[in-house]
Amino acid sequence: MFDAITEGIKKWLVGRFASAIKHTTRAEDRVLAVQWLSESRALVASDLRPIEKFRRLNSLISSRTAIVAIAKSVSEAVSNYRNSDLPLPMKIALPATLAAIPLVGGHAAGIAAFGGALGVPVLLLIFLGAAGITSIIEAVVTNPEARPHIAEIIDAIVQDERLRRTGAQMKAAMKEQPMDPTRFSVPPEEDALRAYLLGMDPFQFERHTMSFFDAAGFEAWATRRSNDFGVDGFAVHPEGLMIVQCKRNSVDNRVGRPAIQQFKGVIEEQNAFRGYVVTTSTFTEKAMESAQLSDRLILIDMDSLVRWHVQTPTFL
């Protein structure tokens, strides 16, 4: 029962953050908000001491006027929780739940210990954790009203310091006709799943593939326009850019060595953190031998892809 109440509170808080961002009037402010959440998520997931997380998260808010406004809006919504649409058990549990957020030296130091319009959202982000922050990003980016701004959001992402060594042409390719990652409904039975994946529209297969990166907590998207790099999807890992090539091949159309060698070159030239080749078929022996020479290239055949549907990969 307690877990259900806590999850309900988290879902409500995600909604408060998402609502505050959606109600900003300028598209560039929504872009800044997605950047802020992405940076906050990395801090929350880091091994920093809790008090250091608090300080850095607070700094991320206070350095940007637009984010300060969003933070204050969230604070006001939470302070007025008694008048919200929360179920009564959650209203009763909310103060004690938030007051127990561990912060300093393992001791509970709740909202009252810091107070202030900025301190409250910081503590809420710590409470929500990386998964909760990802849920906020998803709620904003997949919102129909925000969808036209995905290109602007990606434009902000490609300026990320982690991608500083990525070539200008690749950055341009990253922004060409971006598509949201979309997990399509698939049959649960393995043989039917394999048949479904083999019959998917190639563009749908790319979006479906990138949904696994999105589910793992990374900013991820597919691109509809073909490019000289042979890259169909992008994801941003804390360590840098991940590039993905999707090959929705027939079972007997194995991916060969030339394709792997070419993609290895792209990984090296663009200083990508990881490169993934995802196919509905398999790889030739020569292709696998070539891939083994790089510690940054991962091959995903049909068997591996089926396993992704059972347990979402972590892409460490």
Clarify whether residues 65 and 194 are in a common domain.
Answer: no
Clarify whether residues 170 and 298 are in a common domain.
Answer: yes
Number of structural domains (the chain) is: 2
Structural domain includes residue 194:
yes
Clarify whether residues 86 and 226 are in a common domain.
Answer: no
Clarify whether residues 121 and 15 are in a common domain.
Answer: yes
pLDDT at 2: 56
d(CA 116, CA 96): 18
Clarify whether residues 97 and 185 are in a common domain.
Answer: no
Clarify whether residues 32 and 142 are in a common domain.
Answer: yes
Clarify whether residues 144 and 201 are in a common domain.
Answer: no
Residues spanned by the domain of 66: 2-153
Structural domain includes residue 159:
no
DSSP string, 1-34: -HHHHHHHHHHHHHHHHHHHHHT-S-HHHHHHHH
List, for residues 138-193, the tens digit of each pLDDT value. Answer: 777 665 554 555 666 677 777 777 788 898 889 888 888 788 788 888 999 999 99
Prediction pTM value: 0.58
Clarify whether residues 82 and 104 are in a common domain.
Answer: yes
Clarify whether residues 102 and 49 are in a common domain.
Answer: yes
Question: Which residues, given as ranges, of the chain have pLDDT below 50?
Answer: 103-115, 117, 146
Clarify whether residues 6 and 149 are in a common domain.
Answer: yes
Residues near 115 by beta carbon (within 8 Å), at least 6 away in sequence: none
pLDDT at 104: 42
d(CA 239, CA 162): 7
pLDDT at 79: 81
pLDDT at 150: 64
Domain of residue 289, CATH code: 3.40.1350.10
List, for residues 5-16, the tens digit of each pLDDT value. Answer: 888 888 888 888
User: Taking a C-beta distance cutoff of 8 angstroms, is the pair 160, 39 a contact?
Assistant: no
pLDDT at 63: 74
